[in-house]
Amino acid sequence: MNKSTNIISSLSQEYLTLPSIGMSRWSQIKSFIPFSKEKFRQLCLEKKAPQPIRMGIRCTFYSNQEIHRFLNDPLNYSAQ
């Protein structure tokens, strides 16, 4: 394996599990969410998905704890 292949394989292994605490960006949680980004955004607006936390104009995070709570019971989830 060459160096670039090693970097790519290590990046893909990085997101195999979602940490239980901390914050993640959409690119880090999208493999765990069974919806498109737009559908997830709509659910957030309806308070049926974890609310985004804005850190700036183009920097949005989601609470890992809330994402886990959402994934455990997506039909009955309501944002607090």
β-pair partners for 63 = 23
Amino acid (1-letter code) at residue 3 = K
- pLDDT, one tens digit per residue, over 22-74 is 999 999 999 999 999 999 999 999 999 999 999 999 999 999 999 999 999 99
* pTM of the predicted structure, to 2 decimals: 0.77
CA gap 76, 14 in Å, rounded = 30
What is the DSSP code string of 28-52? HHTTT-SS-HHHHHHHHHTTSSPPP
Cα angle 39, 18, 33; round to 5: 15
